[in-house]
A and B are shown apart, each in its own frame.
Chain A
Amino acid sequence: MADGDMTIGKPISRIDGSKKVAGRALYAAEYDAPGLLHAAVVSSRIAKGKITAIDAIEALALPGVIAVLTHENRPRVAAFRYAYKDTVGPPGGPFKPLHDGKIRFADQPVAVVVGETLEAARDGAALVRITYEEEAFETDLDAAKAASFRPRLPRLGVKPAPKPRGDFDAAFAAAPIKIAAAYETAAQHHNAMELFATTVVWEGEDKITVYDKTQGSQNVQLYLKQALGFKLKNVRVVNAFVGGAFGSGLRPAHSAFLATLAAKHLKRSVRLVLTRAQMFSITYRADTRQEIALACDAEGRLLAVRHACVAATSRNEDQQETIVNWAGLAYACDNAAFDYQLARVDTPTPGDMRAPGAAVGVHVLECAMDELAYAAGIDPLDLRLRNWVEHDQNDDLPLTSKAQKACYAQAAERFGWSERSFGPRTMRDGHELIGWGVAGGVWDAFVAPVPTRARVTWRRDGRLEVAAAASDIGTGTYTILAQIAAEAFGVSVERVEVRLGDSTLPFNPVEGGSWMAASTGAAVAKACDKLKAALVKTARKQFKLRGKSALSVARGAVIGEALPGGAVSLNEILAAVGQDIAATGTNLPDLAGQRKHSSYVHSAVFAEVRVDEELGVIRVKRIVSAIAAGRILNPKTAGSQIIGGMVMGIGQALHEEAQTDHRFGKVMNHSFQDYHVPANADVGDIEVIFVQEHDPDVSSLGVKGVGEIGLVGVAPAIANAVFHATGKRIRSTPITIDKLLD
């Protein structure tokens, strides 16, 4: 691409792609250090109780093992729970690794074995003998929900259940057409491909560089400082490449704490890698039990909506997600009631997983809308359009934009929805029943709730550098930030170098909630504006220009009639100055605007399934998803984000479920063999459409963010297609063969 072309909105290949395809992108476990030691974690065999004895004699006798750290012999760490708080955790007291002999959940880390080699640490971990005294525990949400409760403290950034409006009970009782149903959604695990890993490089007296798998380098930096007693300036956290996370890396993982603890104890560099099985004890998407009731008149207009949810949380923290609110937001309805409760189980604290809240809440709403459509004898797509709303009735605010009608229209056209027959079991191909389902999707259009910063530097080597402590977990952040800077200076993307994933760079919050493009992107745009002003000022000085002669920056040069030849390249200007010139930009959340309007990103999803009538095997043949997400900075990387969400949605609908044996309180299927995530052959044809949506109010770049919305609506579109194929309404995800044949 030549200098001067517009780059925003172009399908540019990701700029980190060549490193990734060549195996040159380094992830947390891939940094070396002189004298590097290896650490392995010993996990608790029991789900609750206490440690009565630890026998590490055999482990320590193994050649190559040099230390076994437990709560009995660890170095001093912070005692108070506040020291373990991170920037995104929910209310409550965070888990404190190796703090005491209490066991709070199965596979809790209870010891760290450090060895000269990976194999010595791993084999040593198998030789640590721990004796426990077991206590009664509960991991079954169906039993725990008898003691459900409404969260006392709200979680920062998560909307509580909306206030009721109108009179649900009276409206529901009087309505001519109504449905009410109970749903279950299974606990899911993020299962990013990269194992949780931390390499701590001991740089000298109490100074460390920590290569960590995290979605927020500065979040981990603060956590390690507080919990392990380092000075902030002596802790540098790097996450330049992250092998997926999907929310599992929002909060500091116990592996980062344990690796740093071992390094501090031994004053040596240490690498710790968790096993796949151990990753099931970090966090998970909470399982839920939900109830929904919808009523409409003969024309399909909604008269009453009620959505209630009980979600699992741990003993020590109140994880909260926005689950029931969508039912009051997606469609027009004046009589609405909501309830959101938690129930405590003896597990690690559940956490955010791609599209937290909406993934399970919108699923239930959209399945219920399908059920209501059949109760009313109205086409399911038509029912949605008949209840169109462009006002946020939960908060009584106008929406900045909602191009979802275009989503429905374009995706329906592409899918061929008009060819669908209404009745269940009316379409087939040989022994396969064919089902077509539709669902709408909605997710928050967040801008980061804290100031987000970026630095842009025009360097003397002629390159434009963008730097921010943001994370690219596969989302395309490197690429879109390069595009924003390239466009601001009218240069090619190849001239831009982006540095991310380093706590020493300008402040950024964790990468989550689909807010990074809108927030860090805006900070880069602002930094570019400031840098251009600084370069113009420098040019004025250099050429001793007085008065108001107009100067601007374009195509890598300062341009103006008063300049020799009408333009002077930035490189020449810098050569004369003798140094790089930098500027920092800050994006602030528009708090005043947020009180005046609401912003959401929307989708429409159409799915075709094929169900083997005798075997109950479900195949997803094709999915079309249309997305309204404001301005799309890069349709190639954004399209991949949407596809990725859709694939995870297939997993949510048909495959993914943490199966806990409640007699042991332990996830039994803690491997890729037994916890199935969609594989290549599970995924049929997928098509993504971005519809035009102009929204100058949502964020300064008009961007809404695309990390989560791809997933929302996919599971209900598939579930509704399964109903259309089979006539069976399966109200429990994942929809597995046993449920279908039952």
Chain B
Amino acid sequence: MSEDPSAMPLQLTVNGEVRDLRAAPWVTLLDLLRETLQLTGSKKGCDHGQCGACTVLVDGRRVNSCLILALTRDGSEVTTIEGLAKDGALHPLQQAFIEHDALQCGYCTPGQICSAAGLLSEGQARCREEVRELMSGNLCRCGAYTHIVEAIETVRLSGAEAAA
């Protein structure tokens, strides 16, 4: 593929690895992750910030990567679903999602898990009701919501996220 003449340099730390990249100004962070870096774990469900499937952590905060132009995050640290597992061991949330069957087709799952990881590190959710409310930016058409809440609550109450 010939490089776009409009491309400009940017540096991102993606899942702990420093990447020197080039992107045109109109390329979103999501498309950069999926198309350039082949990190297809982050999903595109609407491209409008309405479904949450593209949720990743940028500098520790959860964001809809489809709404972010990649160049505006030059120098940032990005964590995607591919970077949550450490040393071959699944993140406690990943394990809890499997155990509680908090997924079906799996397409919204990476976004749900990244969002939940952000939620837990923010320390905002203190009960099931708050988890429901604060996870409502991540749609799941298979309807796994009650299991998603159970998975997150299991991890929240065990305090496992602090160790992860």
* Minimum CB–CB distance for B65 against chain A, Å: 13
**Complex Cα distance A25/B5, Å?**
33
* Minimum CB–CB distance for A668 against chain B, Å: 15
Asked if residues B45 and A276 are in contact (CB atoms below 8 Å), the reply is: yes
Decide yes or no whether A16 CB sits under 8 A from chain B.
yes
Chain B neighbourhood of A648, CB < 8 A: 141, 143
Residue in B1, B80, B147, B148 whose CB lies within 8 Å of A35: B1
**Complex Cα distance A157/B80, Å?**
45
Decide yes or no whether A73 CB sits under 8 A from chain B.
no
- In this complex, the interface size class of chain A, counting residues with CB under 8 Å from chain B, is 35 or more
Chain B neighbourhood of A30, CB < 8 A: 34, 40
Chain A neighbourhood of B90, CB < 8 A: 18, 21-22
**Complex Cα distance A13/B100, Å?**
8
Residue in A14, A24, A193 whose CB lies within 8 Å of B140: A193
**Complex Cα distance A682/B31, Å?**
30
Asked if residues B1 and A680 are in contact (CB atoms below 8 Å), the reply is: no
Chain B neighbourhood of A25, CB < 8 A: 106
Given A18-B90, A23-B81, check contact A643 B146 (CB 8 Å).
yes
Produce 1/0 per residue, A1-18, CB < 8 A to B: 000000000000110111
**Complex Cα distance A241/B138, Å?**
20
Asked if residues B38 and A32 are in contact (CB atoms below 8 Å), the reply is: yes
* Minimum CB–CB distance for A674 against chain B, Å: 9
Produce 1/0 per residue, A177-205, CB < 8 A to B: 00000000000001111110000000000
Produce 1/0 per residue, A33-64, CB < 8 A to B: 00100000000000000000000000000011
**Complex Cα distance A18/B24, Å?**
34
**Complex Cα distance A646/B133, Å?**
19
Asked if residues A22 and B82 are in contact (CB atoms below 8 Å), the reply is: yes
Produce 1/0 per residue, A250-274, CB < 8 A to B: 0000000000000000000000010
Decide yes or no whether B22 CB sits under 8 A from chain A.
no
Residue in B45, B95, B132 whose CB lies within 8 Å of A194: B45
Asked if residues A116 and B2 are in contact (CB atoms below 8 Å), the reply is: yes
**Complex Cα distance A647/B145, Å?**
8
Decide yes or no whether B51 CB sits under 8 A from chain A.
yes
Q: Which B100-117 residues have C-beta < 8 A from chain A?
A: 101, 103-110, 113
Residue in A20, A116, A678 whose CB lies within 8 Å of B109: A20
**Complex Cα distance A673/B137, Å?**
11
Decide yes or no whether A27 CB sits under 8 A from chain B.
yes
Decide yes or no whether A94 CB sits under 8 A from chain B.
no
Residue in A26, A123, A273, A636 whose CB lies within 8 Å of B40: A26
Residue in B46, B110, B137 whose CB lies within 8 Å of A23: B110
Asked if residues B48 and A673 are in contact (CB atoms below 8 Å), the reply is: yes
**Complex Cα distance A686/B132, Å?**
13
Decide yes or no whether B161 CB sits under 8 A from chain A.
no
**Complex Cα distance A672/B50, Å?**
6
Given A22-B94, A119-B24, A680-B132, check contact A193 B139 (CB 8 Å).
yes
Decide yes or no whether A683 CB sits under 8 A from chain B.
yes
Produce 1/0 per residue, A673-710, CB < 8 A to B: 10001111111011000000000000000000000000
* Minimum CB–CB distance for A359 against chain B, Å: 14
Decide yes or no whether B144 CB sits under 8 A from chain A.
yes
Question: Across the two chains, which residue of chain B brings its CB closest to A35?
Answer: B1
* Minimum CB–CB distance for B10 against chain A, Å: 16
**Complex Cα distance A246/B97, Å?**
22
Asked if residues B141 and A191 are in contact (CB atoms below 8 Å), the reply is: yes
Chain A neighbourhood of B148, CB < 8 A: 680
Query: How many A-B Cβ pairs are below 8 Å?
Result: 187
Given A18-B90, A118-B35, check contact A474 B105 (CB 8 Å).
yes
Residue in B24, B48, B98, B140 whose CB lies within 8 Å of A21: B98
Given A23-B82, A244-B142, A474-B142, check contact A63 B5 (CB 8 Å).
yes
Residue in A18, A193, A683 whose CB lies within 8 Å of B145: A683
Chain B neighbourhood of A20, CB < 8 A: 103, 106, 109
Decide yes or no whether B160 CB sits under 8 A from chain A.
no
Question: Across the two chains, which residue of chain B brings its CB closest to A710?
Answer: B143
* Minimum CB–CB distance for A601 against chain B, Å: 18
Asked if residues A194 and B43 are in contact (CB atoms below 8 Å), the reply is: yes
Decide yes or no whether B21 CB sits under 8 A from chain A.
no
**Complex Cα distance A691/B24, Å?**
58
Decide yes or no whether A645 CB sits under 8 A from chain B.
yes
Produce 1/0 per residue, A275-289, CB < 8 A to B: 110000000000000
Asked if residues A680 and B81 are in contact (CB atoms below 8 Å), the reply is: no
**Complex Cα distance A242/B43, Å?**
13
Chain B neighbourhood of A193, CB < 8 A: 43, 45, 51, 53, 105, 107-108, 139-142
Decide yes or no whether B149 CB sits under 8 A from chain A.
yes
Question: Across the two chains, which residue of chain A brings its CB closest to B128?
Answer: A685
* Minimum CB–CB distance for A472 against chain B, Å: 9
**Complex Cα distance A59/B105, Å?**
37
Q: Which B33-62 residues have C-beta < 8 A from chain A?
A: 34-35, 38-48, 50-51, 53
Q: Which of B24, B39, B44, B94 has the most CB of A within 10 A?
A: B44
Chain B neighbourhood of A27, CB < 8 A: 40, 43, 107
Q: Which A56-84 residues have C-beta < 8 A from chain B?
A: 63-64
Decide yes or no whether A320 CB sits under 8 A from chain B.
no
Asked if residues A646 and B113 are in contact (CB atoms below 8 Å), the reply is: no
Question: Across the two chains, which residue of chain B brings its CB closest to A673?
Answer: B50
Chain A neighbourhood of B2, CB < 8 A: 64, 116
Decide yes or no whether B136 CB sits under 8 A from chain A.
yes
Decide yes or no whether A637 CB sits under 8 A from chain B.
yes
Asked if residues A23 and B26 are in contact (CB atoms below 8 Å), the reply is: no
**Complex Cα distance A641/B38, Å?**
31
* Minimum CB–CB distance for A276 against chain B, Å: 5
Question: Across the two chains, which residue of chain A brings its CB closest to B48?
Answer: A671
Decide yes or no whether A162 CB sits under 8 A from chain B.
no
Chain A neighbourhood of B145, CB < 8 A: 647, 678-680, 683
* Minimum CB–CB distance for B137 against chain A, Å: 8
Chain A neighbourhood of B4, CB < 8 A: 63-64, 117, 119
**Complex Cα distance A116/B108, Å?**
28
Chain B neighbourhood of A643, CB < 8 A: 143-144, 146-147
Given A26-B40, A639-B101, check contact A194 B107 (CB 8 Å).
yes
* Minimum CB–CB distance for B37 against chain A, Å: 11
* Minimum CB–CB distance for A563 against chain B, Å: 39
Asked if residues B98 and A13 are in contact (CB atoms below 8 Å), the reply is: yes
Chain A neighbourhood of B122, CB < 8 A: none
Asked if residues A273 and B82 are in contact (CB atoms below 8 Å), the reply is: no
Asked if residues B104 and A640 are in contact (CB atoms below 8 Å), the reply is: yes
Decide yes or no whether A644 CB sits under 8 A from chain B.
yes
* Minimum CB–CB distance for B77 against chain A, Å: 18
Asked if residues B105 and A14 are in contact (CB atoms below 8 Å), the reply is: no
Chain B neighbourhood of A644, CB < 8 A: 104, 142-144
Asked if residues A23 and B80 are in contact (CB atoms below 8 Å), the reply is: yes
Residue in B46, B105, B135 whose CB lies within 8 Å of A276: B46
* Minimum CB–CB distance for B46 against chain A, Å: 5
Question: Across the two chains, which residue of chain B brings its CB closest to A275?
Answer: B47
Asked if residues A21 and B109 are in contact (CB atoms below 8 Å), the reply is: yes
Question: Across the two chains, which residue of chain A brings its CB closest to B109?
Answer: A20
Decide yes or no whether A598 CB sits under 8 A from chain B.
no
Give me the 10 closest cross-chain CB pairs, A-B, nearest first. Answer: A23-B41, A647-B143, A474-B105, A243-B107, A20-B106, A474-B104, A644-B143, A23-B81, A672-B50, A30-B40
A-B contact pairs, 12 of them (CB 8 A): A14-B98, A29-B44, A117-B1, A119-B24, A194-B45, A246-B141, A276-B48, A474-B104, A640-B142, A646-B143, A647-B145, A683-B132
- Listed in ascending order, the chain B residues whose CB lies under 8 Å from chain A are 1-2, 4-5, 24, 26-27, 31, 34-35, 38-48, 50-51, 53, 80-82, 84-85, 90, 94-95, 97-99, 101, 103-110, 113, 131-133, 135-149
Could you list 13 further interchain pairs (A-B, Cβ under 8 angstroms) beyond the known A119-B27, A641-B104, A681-B133? A17-B103, A21-B106, A22-B82, A29-B40, A193-B53, A244-B107, A276-B48, A474-B106, A475-B104, A647-B143, A672-B51, A678-B143, A680-B140
- Listed in ascending order, the chain A residues whose CB lies under 8 Å from chain B are 13-14, 16-27, 29-30, 32, 35, 63-64, 116-119, 123, 190-195, 241-244, 246, 273, 275-276, 473-476, 636-637, 639-641, 643-648, 671-673, 677-683, 685-686
